[in-house]
Chains A and B, each alone.
Chain A
Amino acid sequence: MIRAKVCAAAISLTFSAGLNAPIHAAAALQEAPQAAVETTDAVTDYDVIYAPAMRAPEATRAVLTEIAATSEQQVAVGDYGVIVTRQLGTDEWQQAEVPSSIFLTSVDFADAKLGWAVGHHGVILQTQDGGRTWQPQLDGFEYIDLQVAHYEQRVAQLEEQLANAEDMDPVEREDLEFALDDALFKYDSAQIALEEGPTKPFLDVLALSPQEIFVTGAYGAFLHSTDGGESWSIIDHLVDNIDGFHLNAIQAHGDYVYMVGESGLLFRSSDRGVSWETLDSPYYGSFFGVHIDQQERLWIYGLRGNIFVSEDQGDSFTQLSLEDPVNINNAIDAPNGGLYFVGNAGVVAYLSDSGELTEKTHDSGAVLTDLVINADGSLTLVGQRGILTMPSSALAEKE
């Protein structure tokens, strides 16, 4: 076979010999403004956090990271604060009004109207109208203030606990000392960040309900809101991530919530995120996503084509390997049973109900990070080249 793919990080940047030509998204923006004209006053202190996203005729060609489907629309987010929405049953993508130009990494909806998007520079945005307009709920500078206050309080709390725990079990005491060290370190980091500015991206958002939202991010960032994002609290102490590895993805099913991350991190909560346990990881490489399918099987996947499935809520796993050792970024249920996976180098894989695996490469060869299925069975893909499409027949032809 001669189907080796450009692997995860094809970082040979050969500008000199010309760069990849852009691939046009199949869907065009409905109202493409002629030129990107913005405010008239000159901006002298540009900060990507506070600059509203530019009206972009080519918004569907921006790098996009995630796409969410609600009962009414599809919403994709990505670079330059681009959020594009499309009403179900229509072809036109419309660019949303977004108050920030940061690189958005994730989007999730609690219902058809209420949703959240997160991204770099510690930004959390909320929409109440199905993705047309967005409001800021947190930015990186506020997040740093939050961290300073949180770790300060936590250090005080832990110090008090230690002071009041003279007759404590030595193991428990050691744990407390450990937690204090960790909190002190994070407090110091937050102090440094006050100078440096926000540098840690959020990587995933999960809207458990209209009130309850989880946000995960780089270097172990883990936030929680119980008031629809009005206020946020830092809950990274709930998981055992002393190395501060990236928390790449979070997903829920019933009372179970799963979280995966860098270097094989795998956490499970069976009480909707109140308490967390670390599971034995089947892999020491990074996981980029987690998915629970129609048959309540748990799928986790990541680096180099590694896919694992568990039928017992993550207590044990079996491995499924793709022919192409590329990063697997996301998975969704296929309408007639089975699953779709997408990954780097344009890989789209279909795993049928009966366990047959079909792999295809999108013509663009672009990194694919997420997908949704349209009413006609075709796939809308997002990634390095914005919005792309693939007919369902490309993969499900065997059925």
Chain B
Amino acid sequence: MSEQQSQAKDKSVFLERVIFNFRPFWMVLFALLTLFLGWHASQVRPEASLTKMIPTNHPFIQNYFEYRDDLASLGNVVRIVVETTDGTIFTPEFQKTLQEITDEVFFIPGVDRAGLKSIWTPNVRWSEVTEEGFVGGPVIPDNWDASERSLEQLRTNVLRSGEVGNLVANNFKSALIYVPLNEVNPDTGEALDYQAFSEQLEEKIRDKYQTETVKIHITGFAKIIGDLIEGAMQVGLFFLLAIVITLVMLFAYSRCWRSSFTVLGCSIIAVIWQLGIIKLIGSGINPYSMLVPFLVFAIGVSHGVQIINAMSANRVDGHDREMSARLAFRALYIAGLTALISDAIGFTTLMVIDIAVIQELAIAASIGVAVVVLTNLGLLPIIMSYGGISERGRAYSERVRNQDHPVLTMFERFSEPKWAYSALVVALIGLSWGLIQGQNMKIGDLDAGAPELRPDSRYNLDNQFIVDNYSSSTDIFVVMAATEPSQCIAYDNLEVMDRFSWHMENTPGVQDVKSVVYVAKMGGYALNEGNLKWFSLNRNQYVLNANTGRTPPGLINPDCSMAPIIIYLNDHKAETLKTVVAAVDNFNAQYQQEGLELLMAAGNSGIEAATNSVIETAQYKMLLWVYGVVIVLVFITFRSLRTVACIVLPLALTTIMSQGLMAVLGIGVKVATLPVIALGVGIGVDYGIYIYAKIKEGLERGMHLNECYKYALDNTGKAVGFTGLTLAIGVATWIFSPIKFQADMGILLTFMFLWNMLGALILIPALARLFARFGKRIH
């Protein structure tokens, strides 16, 4: 050991001694922990729970939960449409297929068999009024023999049944099977496994019956969840892709396989630990928090790169493996810890949003970052102290060090006045663009159908088919009319509910309103010989009771204390939902019927209205928190308001521009995109801290600003550039996700990571230049 080295070892800090003096112990401990956590991580399954995606403390959702069981039969339904591309449904072949599919569906576990409906189920009947009263029967003729006569009879019955637009398409080219689901299996008491159910539908229905001329379309909440989970599985492949790309980049950067694999390995260990820990604390992984392993991996790699970067520099300086590792640790652990702590705090600000998936994401990301501290600041130097940088890597590093990299030279220019001011002008243009475009940023989901999935996904195409051919909107806002028990069809209550229905039908964006009131009025019409002049509520409660005798299940609850009023909307745009909520509030302010409460809200649009309102306020709250935390953190580190401005302004520019980008790309502020800004800012601030730390160091040494910046770039700039790229690549794979919101997250995060990197490399020196001049004038 050289004298220099022994001196260096003497200056070792406490943490360094703890780590490097017990290397074998730590290696074994890490190995055991990895095995243990890896076993738990392997138990993690993707899940998609509705309750976690919604703001459970919002009053709408509280109301919904209050009546959740009563509303279950309304909501949890799968629709299977069997389409013929060859003629109409009135052919023996089609009817045979429809019958077989109906039978098949009957036996799929989870189906509420009594509620199952198609023209082949006996609960679907036709009826008409005759001089003697009602006559009617099942839609499928009793003596069905698939003959021409039978088909003719079937056609007549279908028309009489009133099922055109419901169970039979308006154009008679398809028929629908209505499949209500049991949330809990009545036999086993087990909760419905959406994924398994969805797979069964694919396997037993779509795969089996879809042919050249028969097309199957399936929609419903269970199918969305199934498709979400299936899509999420594909994200696993993206992870592999991210690993491969990162490995290539690592090698290109270091030219050393040994260190490349070590960095990769340690980062993967960080991911395993993170997954294992969330499993241990009883949390799971959902399509949102699935982003976290990508982030953890990328953050791990970026910090790992700093270590091996420093190590190879030390090797070039002639230190041995262990000493190189020790010195690298010593040089970087403070900056690394600060950066990681700021990441973690940035993520933690997401906890202010009262939506479980976002909070889970915040927890998972914070855990992940904490784990990276252990694996990539702790384990990585230990492994590298054994393995060391390969000779090839050392040589490459030495060569690079002695030449000016063209890209770095370009960035160095931005501390020169001309370049600096040009950059600032460009930034101002970008800022204005972001501010102007950002005005158009929308809250909520903007696409039709299931916004979770891509507009051209199979699910959304199926959904569009049903919307086009059947008389139903899929955007449903439910108001719950709550009364005393057995008062849900009391005359006085129905009369107010009827006015409410008319009030809502006259609200922009509302297509149709249906509830037990409609049943009562239809009952009046039907029971008076089909005379429309009786389509009204009757003050006589006995008459009303008779008129509501045929109320379908779900439109009143078992003890008749709640009747859902179903409002069909044109779309689920945030403005539409706001208008609807305002209209309901307006009505409630005007009409106060004792014993009747019109409570918002259930249905997919009702839940979305609640989510939107939480997100709208959370948006600003979260920005305030994130920036507040970042400003405090930077101020504590540098004790200078000017530095705070230098570091935070580029971040703010990115935030504003990404809002502009969201508006331009039609990405709304929603559960998925809300966390992105916090993640972007939290990670983005690292770059600024690294770079400014070195500029400051240079200034303290009396360097000219240009020199300081060159010094900073030489020391950390390269790593910052690399970090920005690795992070961007990690999340960019998400752009290809079949899940729309994951793709949105991917686009935005990629943009933010790259732009924050460029902002740090270009605008920090430019701003420093500006402030330096400004400062001089003051003096």
CA distance A248 to B155 in the complex (A): 33
Q: Are A17 and B166 in contact (CB under 8 A)?
A: yes
Q: Return the chain A residue nearest B180 by Cβ.
A: A16
Q: Which of B159, B543, B554 has the most CB of A within 10 A?
A: B159
Tell whether B167 is near chain A: CB-to-CB under 8 Å: yes
Q: Give the segment of A40-48, A164-172, A225-233, A250-258 that binds chain B.
A: A40-48
Chain A 365-376 interface 0/1 with B at a Cβ cutoff of 8 Å (1 = within): 101010000000
Q: Give the segment of A54-62, A126-134, A269-277, A332-340 that binds chain B.
A: A54-62
Known interface pairs A6-B162, A7-B530, A19-B472. Does A197 touch B539 (Cβ–Cβ under 8 Å)? yes
Tell whether B10 is near chain A: CB-to-CB under 8 Å: no
Distance between B314 CB and nearest chain A CB, rounded to angstroms: 70
Which B561-614 residues sit within 8 Å CB-CB of chain A? 566, 568, 579, 582-583, 586, 589-594
Kindly identify which residue among A19, A80, A196 contacts B514, using a CB–CB cutoff of 8 Å.
A19
Tell whether A173 is near chain B: CB-to-CB under 8 Å: no
Tell me which residues across on chain B come within 8 A of A9, comparing CB atoms: 127-129, 134, 525-527, 529-530
Distance between A122 CB and nearest chain B CB, rounded to angstroms: 10
Q: Are A304 and B532 in contact (CB under 8 A)?
A: no
Tell me which residues across on chain A come within 8 A of B130, comparing CB atoms: 303-304
CA distance A369 to B531 in the complex (A): 9
Tell me which residues across on chain A come within 8 A of B539, comparing CB atoms: 121, 196-199
Distance between B170 CB and nearest chain A CB, rounded to angstroms: 9
Q: Return the chain B residue nearest A23 by Cβ.
A: B471
Tell me which residues across on chain A come within 8 A of B511, comparing CB atoms: 21-22
Q: Are B506 and A51 in contact (CB under 8 A)?
A: no
Known interface pairs A4-B155, A201-B536. Does A12 touch B162 (Cβ–Cβ under 8 Å)? yes
Q: Return the chain A residue nearest B587 by Cβ.
A: A36
Known interface pairs A365-B164, A384-B532. Does A199 touch B127 (Cβ–Cβ under 8 Å)? no
Q: Are A43 and B536 in contact (CB under 8 A)?
A: no
Tell whether A5 is near chain B: CB-to-CB under 8 Å: yes
Q: Return the chain B residue nearest A121 by Cβ.
A: B539
Known interface pairs A43-B591, A120-B536, A344-B530. Does A7 touch B160 (Cβ–Cβ under 8 Å)? yes
Distance between A19 CB and nearest chain B CB, rounded to angstroms: 5
Q: Are A10 and B162 in contact (CB under 8 A)?
A: yes
Q: Are B164 and A6 in contact (CB under 8 A)?
A: yes
Known interface pairs A4-B160, A46-B496. Does A16 touch B505 (Cβ–Cβ under 8 Å)? no
Distance between A7 CB and nearest chain B CB, rounded to angstroms: 3
Q: Are A37 and B586 in contact (CB under 8 A)?
A: yes
Which A74-128 residues sit within 8 Å CB-CB of chain B? 79-80, 101-103, 105-106, 120-121
Q: Return the chain B residue nearest A326 by Cβ.
A: B530
Q: Are B159 and A285 in contact (CB under 8 A)?
A: no
CA distance A344 to B128 in the complex (A): 12
Q: Are A7 and B167 in contact (CB under 8 A)?
A: no
Q: Are B131 and A58 in contact (CB under 8 A)?
A: no
Interchain Cβ contacts within 8 Å, total number: 229
Known interface pairs A11-B526, A80-B502. Does A21 touch B473 (Cβ–Cβ under 8 Å)? yes
Q: Return the chain A residue nearest B178 by Cβ.
A: A17
CA distance A7 to B129 in the complex (A): 7
Q: Are A54 and B499 in contact (CB under 8 A)?
A: yes
CA distance A24 to B705 in the complex (A): 71
Q: Are A16 and B550 in contact (CB under 8 A)?
A: no
Kindly identify which residue among B492, B525, B566 contacts A15, using a CB–CB cutoff of 8 Å.
B566
Tell whether B176 is near chain A: CB-to-CB under 8 Å: yes
Tell whether B767 is near chain A: CB-to-CB under 8 Å: no
Q: Are B129 and A303 in contact (CB under 8 A)?
A: yes
Chain B 476-504 interface 0/1 with A at a Cβ cutoff of 8 Å (1 = within): 00000000000000001001101100110
Q: Are A18 and B165 in contact (CB under 8 A)?
A: yes
Q: Are B594 and A36 in contact (CB under 8 A)?
A: no
Q: Are B586 and A35 in contact (CB under 8 A)?
A: yes
Chain A 202-239 interface 0/1 with B at a Cβ cutoff of 8 Å (1 = within): 01000000000000000000000000000000000000
Which B529-568 residues sit within 8 Å CB-CB of chain A? 529-540, 543, 550-552, 554-555, 566, 568
Q: What is the predominant secondary structure among interface residues of chain B facing chain A?
A: mixed
Q: Are B163 and A14 in contact (CB under 8 A)?
A: yes
Tell whether B522 is near chain A: CB-to-CB under 8 Å: yes
Tell whether A380 is near chain B: CB-to-CB under 8 Å: no
Which B133-172 residues sit within 8 Å CB-CB of chain A? 134, 152, 155-156, 159-167
CA distance A298 to B480 in the complex (A): 51
Q: Return the chain A residue nearest B582 by Cβ.
A: A35
Tell me which residues across on chain B come within 8 A of A20, comparing CB atoms: 165, 471, 512
Q: Are A288 and B531 in contact (CB under 8 A)?
A: yes
Which A300-359 residues sit within 8 Å CB-CB of chain B? 303-304, 325, 327, 329, 344
Tell me which residues across on chain B come within 8 A of A365, comparing CB atoms: 164
Distance between B97 CB and nearest chain A CB, rounded to angstroms: 19
Tell me which residues across on chain A come within 8 A of B498, comparing CB atoms: 48, 80
Known interface pairs A13-B552, A38-B590, A79-B535. Does A199 touch B529 (Cβ–Cβ under 8 Å)? no
Q: What is the predominant secondary structure among interface residues of chain A facing chain B?
A: loop
Q: Are B530 and A327 in contact (CB under 8 A)?
A: yes
Tell whether A295 is near chain B: CB-to-CB under 8 Å: no
Q: Are A21 and B471 in contact (CB under 8 A)?
A: yes
Q: Return the chain A residue nearest B135 by Cβ.
A: A7
Distance between A350 CB and nearest chain B CB, rounded to angstroms: 21
Tell whether A25 is near chain B: CB-to-CB under 8 Å: no
Tell whether A63 is near chain B: CB-to-CB under 8 Å: yes
Known interface pairs A18-B165, A303-B529. Does A42 touch B535 (Cβ–Cβ under 8 Å)? no
Tell me which residues across on chain B come within 8 A of A199, comparing CB atoms: 538-540, 543
Tell me which residues across on chain B come within 8 A of A101, comparing CB atoms: 499
Kindly identify which residue among B79, B499, B533, B592 contacts A105, using a CB–CB cutoff of 8 Å.
B533
Tell whether A147 is near chain B: CB-to-CB under 8 Å: no
Q: Return the chain A residue nearest B132 by Cβ.
A: A285
CA distance A15 to B505 in the complex (A): 17
Which B75-97 residues sit within 8 Å CB-CB of chain A? 77, 79
Q: Are A6 and B552 in contact (CB under 8 A)?
A: no
Q: Are B506 and A42 in contact (CB under 8 A)?
A: no
Tell me which residues across on chain B come within 8 A of A22, comparing CB atoms: 511-512
Distance between A16 CB and nearest chain B CB, rounded to angstroms: 6
Tell me which residues across on chain A come within 8 A of B592, comparing CB atoms: 42-44
Q: Are B514 and A14 in contact (CB under 8 A)?
A: no
CA distance A2 to B534 in the complex (A): 30
Tell whether A383 is near chain B: CB-to-CB under 8 Å: yes
Kindly identify which residue among B503, B537, B566, B589 contacts A42, using a CB–CB cutoff of 8 Å.
B589
Tell me which residues across on chain B come within 8 A of A13, comparing CB atoms: 162, 518-519, 522, 550-552
Tell whether B421 is near chain A: CB-to-CB under 8 Å: no
CA distance A80 to B517 in the complex (A): 13
Q: Are B529 and A8 in contact (CB under 8 A)?
A: yes
CA distance A384 to B568 in the complex (A): 18
Distance between B583 CB and nearest chain A CB, rounded to angstroms: 6
5 closest Cβ contacts across the A-B interface?
A18-B472, A8-B530, A7-B128, A10-B162, A103-B536
Known: A2-B152, A8-B529, A39-B590. 13 other contacts (CB 8 A): A9-B527, A16-B552, A18-B473, A19-B512, A56-B502, A61-B505, A101-B499, A102-B536, A103-B535, A105-B533, A199-B540, A344-B532, A369-B532
Binding site for A on B (CB under 8 A): 74, 77, 79, 115, 117, 124-131, 134, 152, 155-156, 159-167, 176, 178, 180, 470-473, 492, 495-496, 498-499, 502-503, 505-508, 511-512, 514, 518-519, 522-523, 525-540, 543, 550-552, 554-555, 566, 568, 579, 582-583, 586, 589-594
Q: List 11 A-B contacts (CB under 8 A).
A: A10-B127, A10-B160, A16-B552, A19-B165, A42-B590, A43-B591, A46-B593, A196-B540, A329-B532, A344-B530, A367-B525
